[in-house]
Chains A and B, each alone.
Chain A
Amino acid sequence: MFDLLQHAITIGERLGARLAETRLDDFYIREIRTEMDEVRDVKNIRRVGIGINVYYNGASGYSFETNPSKKTIEIATKRAYKIAKASSKAAEVKIDPGEAPSHKQKKLELEVKKHPKDALLSFKKDLVLRAVETAQEYGKNIASITGRYGELFGHKQFMNSEQTEVSWSPLVVDLNIQVISKAGELLVDGRDGVGGSFGLELFETKKYSPEKIGENAGKWATEKLQAKPAPPGKHRALCENRLVGVLAHESFGHLTESDLVVTGMSPLAGKIGHQLGSEHATITDEGTMDPSRYHGFWLPFDDQGIQTAKTVIMDKGRLAGYLHNRETAVAMKAGLTGNARAVNYNFPPIVRMKNTYFSPGDLSLEEALEQLDTGIYAMRTVGGQANMDGTFMFKASRGYYVKNGEKEYPLREVTLTGSILDFLKNIEGATRELSLYSGYFGGCGKNGQYPLPVGLGGPHLLVREVQFGGEKQ
Chain B
Amino acid sequence: MTSELETLANELSSLVDTGVRKALTRGAEEAEVFISHVDTLAVNIKTGILEAREGASLGIGVRVVADGKVGFAATSGMDETKIDHTIEEALGVAGIRPVDPRFKHLADPISRTSKDGIIDDAILEFSNADALEEVDNLSKAAFKFDKRVRAIFGGISVEKGVFAVANSRGIFGCSKGAVIGGGVYCIATDQGRQKTGIESLDSRQLPDFSDVGSKATDRAIKMLEAKPLGESLRTTTIWENVAIGPMLRAMLSSASSATNVQEGKSYLKGKMKEKIASDEVTIFDHGQLPEGLLTFKTDAEGVPCQKTTLVEKGVLRNYIYDSYAALQENKESTGNANRQWPEPFLTTPNVSTSNIVLKAGTSNLDRLIADVDKGILVTGMVMGAGHANRITGEFSVVAPNAFLVKNGEIEYALEPLTIAGNFFHSLKRITRVGSDSRIMSVGKISSLIIDDLTISG
Contacts and interface: CB of A to CB of B under 8 A. Distances in A.
A83 B53 contact: yes
Nearest to B62: A44
B364 interface: no
Given A45-B73, A91-B49, A413-B394, A384 B416 contact: no
A43 B49 contact: no
A388 B420 contact: no
A263 B49 contact: yes
Contact of B50 (A91, A125, A412): A91
A325 to B, nearest CB: 11
Interface of B: 40, 42-44, 46-59, 70-79, 89-90, 92-93, 96-98, 100-102, 128-129, 132-133, 136, 150-151, 153, 157, 185, 187, 194-196, 232-234, 263-265, 267, 342-343, 346-348, 383-384, 386-387, 389, 391-392, 394, 396-398, 400, 416, 418-422, 454, 456
B194 A87 contact: no
A100 interface: no
A83 B456 contact: no
A470 B420 contact: yes
Contacts of B346: 45, 47
The 3 closest A-B CB pairs, nearest first, are: A415-B396, A93-B48, A143-B264
A346 B342 contact: yes
B420 A469 contact: yes
A44 B72 contact: yes
Interface in A275-319: none
28 contacts: A38-B102, A43-B348, A44-B93, A45-B74, A47-B76, A49-B57, A61-B54, A62-B54, A65-B55, A66-B78, A67-B77, A87-B52, A93-B49, A122-B96, A180-B391, A264-B187, A348-B51, A385-B383, A387-B400, A389-B194, A395-B384, A413-B392, A413-B394, A415-B384, A415-B418, A415-B420, A419-B416, A471-B421
Contacts of B263: 35, 144, 146
A7 interface: no
B418 A467 contact: yes
Contacts of B265: 143-144, 146, 180, 187
Contacts of B151: 263-265
A376 B79 CA distance: 57
Contacts, number: 256
Contacts of B456: 232-233, 467, 469, 472
Contacts of A189: 389, 391-392
A110 interface: no
A259 interface: yes
Contact of B233 (A61, A63, A264, A472): A472
Contacts of A417: 396, 398, 416, 418
A20 interface: no
Interface in A431-473: 447-448, 467, 469-472
Interface of A: 35, 38-49, 59-68, 76, 79, 82-84, 86-87, 90-93, 95, 120-122, 125, 143-144, 146, 180, 182, 186-189, 232-233, 259-260, 262-265, 267, 346-348, 350, 382-393, 395, 412-413, 415, 417, 419, 447-448, 467, 469-472
B392 A188 contact: yes
Given A83-B52, A264-B187, A415-B418, A42 B128 contact: no
B195 to A, nearest CB: 6
Given A43-B73, A83-B54, A125 B98 contact: yes
B96 A38 contact: no
Given A389-B400, A395-B384, A395-B387, A62 B52 contact: yes
B150 A470 contact: no
Contacts of A188: 392
Contacts of A93: 47-49
B454 A470 contact: yes
Contacts of A265: 46-47, 150-151, 153, 187
B194 A388 contact: yes
Nearest to A386: B383
A233 B232 contact: yes
Given A232-B456, A263-B46, A472 B132 contact: no
A472 B98 CA distance: 48
Contact of B383 (A82, A86, A146, A393): A393
Given A43-B74, A67-B78, A90-B132, A79 B54 contact: yes
B229 to A, nearest CB: 12
Contacts of B101: 38
Nearest to B96: A121
A85 B151 CA distance: 24
Contact of A346 (B40, B387, B422): B40
Nearest to A390: B194
B50 A90 contact: yes
B391 A44 contact: no
A39 B97 contact: yes
Contact of B55 (A76, A92, A121, A390): A76
B58 A389 contact: no
A188 to B, nearest CB: 7
B56 A66 contact: yes
A93 B348 CA distance: 43
Nearest to B394: A413
B243 to A, nearest CB: 14
Given A87-B50, A233-B232, A263-B151, A46 B398 contact: no
B438 to A, nearest CB: 21
Contact of A264 (B47, B136, B383): B47
A471 B419 CA distance: 8
A384 B53 contact: no
A121 B69 CA distance: 15
B58 A67 contact: yes
A347 to B, nearest CB: 7
Contacts of B150: 264-265
Contacts of A122: 96
B72 A472 contact: no
A395 B93 CA distance: 37
A66 B396 contact: no
Contacts of A62: 51-55
Contacts of A415: 384, 396, 418, 420
A385 B387 contact: yes
B16 to A, nearest CB: 17
A47 B264 CA distance: 34
Contacts of B194: 267, 388-390
Contacts of A95: 49
A393 B384 contact: yes
